[in-house]
Amino acid sequence: MTKDTPTILKKIIDRKFEEISQRKKNISERDFEQEFDRYAPPRGFAEAMKNKVAAGHSAVIAEVKKASPSKGVLRENFVPQQIAESYQKGGAACLSVLTDRDFFQGHEDYLIQIRESVELPVIRKDFLVDSYQIAEAKAIGADCVLLIVAALDDAKLKDLHAQATEYGMDVLIEVHDKAEMESALKVDNFLIGVNNRNLHTFDVSLQTTIDLKSMLPSDRMFVTESGIITPQDVALMRQHDVNAFLVGEAFMRADEPGEKLAELFGAN
């Protein structure tokens, strides 16, 4: 691959800027701000994660995701509210809802529907690169947003984080390597996620979590993301003192996602 070869991540980000530009023609950031009172204040996403771990359980962020660029459609029978309710019964701490339309077949409406049907805090899972999207996340009822260091420079990461926290939302900052972890740690944020999937190639290795765990201060929560498929994967992470997980594909391929969650994490 040459230096100028577009990666999957670059394609997604380029499309995201196009999407934002188009949507701004129809609804402004100020319009979103006028919708902020539509929902009760954000429910504590980070607090729910902390409470699970404090009770001796795994803190699982269960993902509602129809498709992905690397695996295609994961679930044909995709009913967001039913999936969310199943996760709640299965013991999830929080939910992750894909809102990217072009690459993950997600939608903002899925988050709205789920927000209104379950009590669990919800993170907007998308490629957020502009203040417009943070305002939109607040307007549709997100309790937390994902900020991906690979998609942002340090200044933009700091700005979007400040905006989200000003709105009362929690933030999950996602990294993939040591350099990104160093950038993430410049921001005062409790939740740090390590994505075991390389966003440039979409290859997965749990070694990424193991390698980066030692960099995290003890006052932050370390969330391992992607590649958690079997009880052995969970056991390996627990051996390295990782007790917070974001899991999607393994659940989405199961007939009953919540039952799969309970099975994968034992009594949770």
Give the residue numbers annotated as catalytic, written as ranges: 63, 65, 125, 174, 195, 225-226
SS3 content of the chain, % helix, strand, coil (to 5): 45, 15, 40
Within 13 A of 209's CA, how many CA atoms are on the CB side?
Answer: 30
Helix, strand, or coil (residue 205): coil
CB 255 within 8 A of CB 77: no
Q: Which of 69, 88, 86 is nearest to 78 (CA)?
A: 86
Q: Report residue 49 as tokens.
A: 């994660």
224 and 244 in contact (C-beta within 8 Å)?
A: yes
